[in-house]
Structure 1
Amino acid sequence: MLQGMREGARSPWILVIIGLIVLSFVLTGAESLTFNGSQSGAAEVNGEEISLNELQFAIERQRRQLSELYGDQLDPSFLDDDLLRPSVLNGLIEQALLSDYAASLEIASSPKAVGRAITGNPAFQLDGGFSAEYYRDILRSNGLTNSQYRADQENLDRLQKLQSFVSEAAFVTPMETQASINVAAERRDVRYLVVDDTTLAVEGATSDDAISAYYDSNIAQFAQPERVIASYIMLTPELYTQPVDPAEVVAQLADALAEYESKAESEVAHILITQMDDEDAAGYQTRIEAVSARLSSGEDFAAIAQELSDDIGSASLGGDLGYTDGSVFPDAMEDAIDALAIGQVSDAVETDAGTHFILLKQRTAAAQVSDEVLRAEIEDNLRSAQSQRDLLLAVDNLRDAVFTADDLESAAADLGVAITKSSPFSRDAGEGIFDEVALREAAFADDVFIEDNNSDVIELSGSRFVALRVNERLPEGSKPLQEVRGEIMATLERQAREAELEGLVADVNAALAAGESLESIAEDKDLEWRVELAATRQNTLLPPEVLQAAFAKQASDTNSVSAIGVTSGGYALVQLARVTAGSADTLLTSERQALVDEVQQVQGDLLFTEFLADLRRRGTVIVR
């Protein structure tokens, strides 16, 4: 089951639901922002502050969502705080503007409606039904609690109502609707020639003379900035990893076993009936007896909890309270839980909170982590701690050594580490560890680059510490021909292919103007030709590039071809053969309605964008 939860937490449903928490509204530019140097918060919207903590939490949440969505395919640089901060902060600002306006209109959200939406959401269901454990697991994996998620969803519900109010005010004229239907229903006959790269001759384009001539004519293109080659010492924790003393492992094992031992746990749900301020004892007792009677008749516990429980927080979850190890709830409840069998419901249980009916959903026995697992974990922790201590001592020694010495060799000898030589790098770019800006800045600092000193010790991510010294300075100039030969060859081949293609297009268009058909031209030039009749804008048989080119042409342009590159390789010479005007009569009723809805949606979105921009103009937004 846990594996199912883990897999489910990566599903598109989950990403959509969690992604709705931080709303990404239309960005309207920065003209309405007032910048201020104060650091008391991230921003202020109509007098309400967005704290730095809120912003950082939202950034972390966005980072998790991107990681879940794209996994290993995501470039780590896209997760950088500086890159995420502007868009996340704008989202928080616009959410605050909308929340403020929704409050002024007294737009309300029903907690019970939100609860029903949560329990009815497929994202939180296993085996066809709502799973409170699955729900909590998903929230935990996204850094949320139930109360946080419910509050976010209630706010989201209010904002969605506001957006609906605004968007539904958009007015679309019958003429606009008809024009959109006509465009969408238009059909086009498309012919095109398939031109492989191999069809376009590039012989002679990449001769030695041609390469040399291109190099000489475009020498500025191959300019190379001033560069250096550096020697460096890098200290990492791995250099100081040592065997662990078995006695230390044994000394920690007993405490670790006690810490990791889990107690027996019971998963429970309850229905809580509390006596209201204006309710007499008889009315209170009547409600308790009504719950008891419905439970005795075999009605579903969760359904009764959602309908009748006065504990709003758990009612929306079918009464689910999670797990207890015997110490979570009042003694009266814990005693009742201990006496229940799985699936059994208790009699009425009285506590200071009111009257409870308790369902035991599941009971798990106490468990203990094996000695082997804990021993390995302790060894890893001890090994890591020791290597970090030794590393920091070595870093202190390295700092002293590079400060007093006029080379790296003596420091390396004292520390028993190697010196590594870099490849050439400039102020703006480098390979390997010199991709790090801090190292390049250190290498080109005056005291290192000009005065020929060792650098200070620079700390990088991953507990890496580097000291460097410039060995060789390479003046600015041009990259040698041999280094850029391949680049020039690719450029010359592309240019030759484009020239050949341009000539082919001219020949085909001349033949079409002379009255020849595309089919006969294809035969003359030994090219493959294809046709698609009555293609719509939603056609999936044509290559997307061909479809786009065909519908980009003027309706009258039926006697010429245009060349476009195709993702699958090569080119297509596209001819628009005929255009059949769109008509609502050619569409199914469902298709017509879908188009009407789409036009309405577009107009609604435009109106909402204007509305949001107006809120920003009229509001007071201070970004710090």
Structure 2
Amino acid sequence: MLDSFRTNMRSLALGIVIVIGFIFAFSGTGTMFLTGNSGDAAVVVGGEIVREIDVLRSISRQKQRILSENEGLDPSVLDDSLIRPSAVEQLISRQLLVQASGDRRMTVSPREVDQYILAIESFQTNGVFDQDLYKFAISNQGYTSSEFKQQVKNDMLIQQLVQGLTDTAFTTDGELAALAAVTEQQRNYYYLTVPADEIRSSITLSEAQVNEFYEANKASYQTEPKVSVDYIELSSDLLADPTLITEELVTARFEEEILSRDMAESRQAAHILLEDPTDELVAEIQAKLDEGQDFARLASEYSADFGSAETGGDLGYTSGDTFPEEFEKALKSLSVGSVSNPVKTDSGTHFIKLLDIQQQSFVLAEETPRIRRDLMMEATTDTLVAKLELLKELSFNAESLAEVAEDVGLEMVTSEAFTQAGGEGITAIPSVIRAAFSAEVVEDKFASEVIDLGSDRYVVVKLNEYYEARQQELAEVRDLLEVTYTQQLVEKTLADKGAALAARVEAGETIEIVAKSEGLDWQVGMSMTRRSRDVNSEINAKMFSLPVPKGDSFVQTFSTSSGDLIVSSLVKVTPGDVSVLSNSEKASLASATLSINGNRDIQAFEAMVRADTEIVQ
């Protein structure tokens, strides 16, 4: 019992990144309605089952990350089958680390888990933990409270393990010197620029050249095969009819829910714990409390519970079953802000203060939007299932999807023609593209199987028209052809000129002499570092990728992103010297080295654990 009061209550939120993340918890993309049997085993790691629903959640999170990093990306192009392998791999790695932490007897107490959850801002209203918000958020992800707490516990165990591995990483003076020799390296080089635009502007193609190039490259100027398809889409959104959900239905559901609603109060407690106090010590503290001295300061000064003492004795919230019976009974008798008389438990003697009371609210006006969504989902689910079965039955061997659409009560749409690269909207989805170009649809002229697009969205497609690949006439492709041919001529001219200029430099002429003789711009970089900004950054990066010269110089030609040709001469490479770095620079370098070593240790550790663990997919 004493351990429960001595648990360190310091905010574990600092530095801990929960793998399951809360970035998706309020994004409106909950996984409650993910398809698939949540009990199905997707993979077994060391005898522990990773459920299919966990894989689907991971896929959903990866989709949200991709969409957040690529603004404007059409969500329909994110095919679950492409994301699934990495999602499964992440879950396997996670399970390996959880098991490894257990094997090493790492622990996280329920109190630490609760305290972490209480500190999450996404679960707070006006800075205070909101039980309703918490329950809504985790249920929106398909978690029960116990499942969610287990996820948090696992993540904290992983963090312990990772922290232990990285804390053992170290760096030697030799490693610092070796890293500095590379990162702080200096280079001297010269280069000249042969501009592509000047060559391009000097090229004029004759009619004979255009015709000759077209004839020689006809195979490059053919259209791709295209298809136009008829399709029927079925989804919950298409079936939703807000007029079906009346105020009477909402009220009735609210009254049903309130009967089973847990309306228990949650009390926030703080305490001063005395393990074996003398009567004089108890009286001393009681007197100071009676004088009105600050409870938090007294907790910091007297409490034997060092963890909570640092936070003014704060123990967090309880619904009546967290602390010993005597403690809970005394807490329940208090009003907010009041302090109990001394209370004895197996852990010692407590002065208990009630900091806050939260009474869960359940108000019709607040719950109406959610109840409407629930009722709409329920109303459409049965209809969706019925229409889906009918769509599968009627589209099989159907001569026309128009009749199927009419019988099912849906709309048939004809797409614009698209290639195997995809079109727009539904024809951009990989599974739809594959079906549209399948032999079953193109050659046999059958309707496709009903395709599950995820998130209760389905589609069936049938060929409307197939457009064969054809040879394009010169007039159709002339503009593109001239651009292509001109670019080829530019590149050949640059390559020939660059080779000739580089040969002169290799023969002993300097970049400066060669450039001036040809009327070209040239530049010099002296004592350049990887971070130098007084020269072209693209060229500087390239110069640092070149090998150390074996002789007087290393001559290299390369093209820039703009198409210009560079003839360069690397003449000197000076290794970086760690001794000339400032203390802050050395500290930064040491931190980078530790990070590299730590990451290497984590990867090696996981590989070792993986090799000793049976994984069944």
> Are the equivalent residues in 2 in contact too, given 1:43–1:51 (CA < 8 A)?
yes
- Once residues 291 and 148 of structure 1 are traced to their aligned partners in structure 2, the CA distance between those partners, rounded to angstroms, is 41
What do residues 301-332 of structure 1 show as CA deviations (whole Å, max 9, x unaligned)?
A: 6964996349x8999895332375x9998798
Aligned pairs (5 A) from 1:132-531: 133=129, 149=152, 152-162=155-165, 164-165=167-168, 167-168=169-170, 174=174, 178-193=177-192, 198-201=197-200, 204=203, 213-214=212-213, 216-219=215-218, 228-237=227-236, 240-242=239-241, 244=243, 248-253=246-251, 256=254, 268-271=268-271, 298=294, 300=296, 304=300, 308-309=304-305, 319-322=314-317, 333=328, 336=331, 339-341=334-336, 343-349=337-343, 357-362=351-356, 369=363, 371=365, 386=379, 394-395=387-388, 398-399=391-392, 401-402=394-395, 406-414=399-407, 418-424=411-417, 432-436=425-429, 438-440=431-433, 442-443=435-436, 449-455=442-448, 457-475=450-468, 488=481, 491-506=484-499, 508-509=501-502, 512=505, 518=511, 528-531=521-524
**Residue 42 in 1 paired to residue 46 in 2?**
no
Change (3 A) 1:522 1:407: same
> Are the equivalent residues in 1 in contact too, given 2:405–2:411 (CA < 8 A)?
yes
Change (3 A) 1:83 1:608: closer
**Residue 565 in 1 paired to residue 563 in 2?**
no
CA drift of 1:570 comes to 5.4
What do residues 325-366 of structure 1 show as CA deviations (whole Å, max 9, x unaligned)?
A: x9998798477457424x444334568998654434345688
CA drift of 1:73 comes to 1.8
The amino acid of 2:400's aligned partner reads D
CA drift of 1:270 comes to 2.9
CA RMSD of aligned residues (A): 5.7
- Once residues 383 and 109 of structure 1 are traced to their aligned partners in structure 2, the CA distance between those partners, rounded to angstroms, is 43
CA drift of 1:593 comes to 6.2
The amino acid of 1:160's aligned partner reads Q
Change (3 A) 1:385 1:581: closer
> Are the equivalent residues in 2 in contact too, given 1:302–1:319 (CA < 8 A)?
no
Gaps of 5+ in 2: 1-12, 23-39
- Once residues 422 and 306 of structure 1 are traced to their aligned partners in structure 2, the CA distance between those partners, rounded to angstroms, is 76
- Once residues 332 and 158 of structure 1 are traced to their aligned partners in structure 2, the CA distance between those partners, rounded to angstroms, is 34
Change (3 A) 1:420 1:212: farther
CA drift of 1:461 comes to 3.2
What do residues 162-186 of structure 1 show as CA deviations (whole Å, max 9, x unaligned)?
A: 4544x44x8x685x76555444443
CA drift of 1:88 comes to 1.0
Aligned pairs (5 A) from 1:68-147: 71-73=68-70, 77=78, 81-92=83-94, 94-95=96-97, 98-99=100-101, 103=104, 133=129
Partner of 2:4: none
Name the SS of the counterpart of 1:52 in structure 2: strand
TM-score, normalised via structure 2 length: 0.67
Name the SS of the counterpart of 1:234 in structure 2: strand
Change (3 A) 1:407 1:316: same
CA drift of 1:17 comes to 2.3
Change (3 A) 1:463 1:146: closer
Change (3 A) 1:21 1:72: closer
- Once residues 50 and 207 of structure 1 are traced to their aligned partners in structure 2, the CA distance between those partners, rounded to angstroms, is 72
What do residues 76-127 of structure 1 show as CA deviations (whole Å, max 9, x unaligned)?
A: 5387652323531452365267547x62xx7x67979989x979x9x989xx
Name the SS of the counterpart of 1:156 in structure 2: helix
TM-score, normalised via structure 1 length: 0.66
Change (3 A) 1:547 1:213: same
What do residues 250-294 of structure 1 show as CA deviations (whole Å, max 9, x unaligned)?
A: 35336538958997966512338598xxxxxx6698997787678
- Once residues 145 and 274 of structure 1 are traced to their aligned partners in structure 2, the CA distance between those partners, rounded to angstroms, is 34
The amino acid of 2:231's aligned partner reads Y
1:588 to 582, 590, 595: 582
Change (3 A) 1:211 1:506: same
Partner of 1:10: none
The amino acid of 1:87's aligned partner reads E
- Once residues 191 and 202 of structure 1 are traced to their aligned partners in structure 2, the CA distance between those partners, rounded to angstroms, is 27
Name the SS of the counterpart of 1:537 in structure 2: coil
Name the SS of the counterpart of 2:532 in structure 1: coil
- Once residues 267 and 111 of structure 2 are traced to their aligned partners in structure 1, the CA distance between those partners, rounded to angstroms, is 25
- Once residues 118 and 306 of structure 1 are traced to their aligned partners in structure 2, the CA distance between those partners, rounded to angstroms, is 25
> Are the equivalent residues in 1 in contact too, given 2:331–2:354 (CA < 8 A)?
no
Partner of 2:36: none
- Once residues 17 and 227 of structure 1 are traced to their aligned partners in structure 2, the CA distance between those partners, rounded to angstroms, is 47
- Once residues 130 and 167 of structure 2 are traced to their aligned partners in structure 1, the CA distance between those partners, rounded to angstroms, is 31
The farther-off stretch of 398-407 and 184-193 is 398-407
The farther-off stretch of 532-541 and 346-355 is 346-355
CA drift of 1:160 comes to 3.3
Partner of 2:57: 60
The amino acid of 1:52's aligned partner reads V
CA drift of 1:424 comes to 4.2
Partner of 1:279: none
- Once residues 20 and 132 of structure 1 are traced to their aligned partners in structure 2, the CA distance between those partners, rounded to angstroms, is 23
The amino acid of 1:322's aligned partner reads Y
The amino acid of 1:73's aligned partner reads N
Partner of 1:550: 543
What do residues 531-577 of structure 1 show as CA deviations (whole Å, max 9, x unaligned)?
A: 443222333444443222222333446474533424x8856554435
Partner of 2:27: none
Change (3 A) 1:205 1:320: farther
> Are the equivalent residues in 2 in contact too, given 1:443–1:468 (CA < 8 A)?
yes
Name the SS of the counterpart of 1:17 in structure 2: coil
CA drift of 1:439 comes to 4.2
- Once residues 392 and 410 of structure 1 are traced to their aligned partners in structure 2, the CA distance between those partners, rounded to angstroms, is 20
The amino acid of 1:252's aligned partner reads V
- Once residues 539 and 308 of structure 1 are traced to their aligned partners in structure 2, the CA distance between those partners, rounded to angstroms, is 57
- Once residues 456 and 43 of structure 2 are traced to their aligned partners in structure 1, the CA distance between those partners, rounded to angstroms, is 30
Once the two structures are aligned, what percentage of the paired residues are identical?
21
Change (3 A) 1:227 1:158: closer
- Once residues 132 and 362 of structure 1 are traced to their aligned partners in structure 2, the CA distance between those partners, rounded to angstroms, is 10
**Residue 534 in 1 paired to residue 535 in 2?**
no
What do residues 458-484 of structure 1 show as CA deviations (whole Å, max 9, x unaligned)?
A: 443354443443333445666776776
Name the SS of the counterpart of 1:88 in structure 2: helix
Name the SS of the counterpart of 2:229 in structure 1: strand
Change (3 A) 1:94 1:461: closer
Name the SS of the counterpart of 1:250 in structure 2: helix
> Are the equivalent residues in 2 in contact too, given 1:40–1:51 (CA < 8 A)?
yes
Change (3 A) 1:620 1:508: same
Partner of 1:9: none
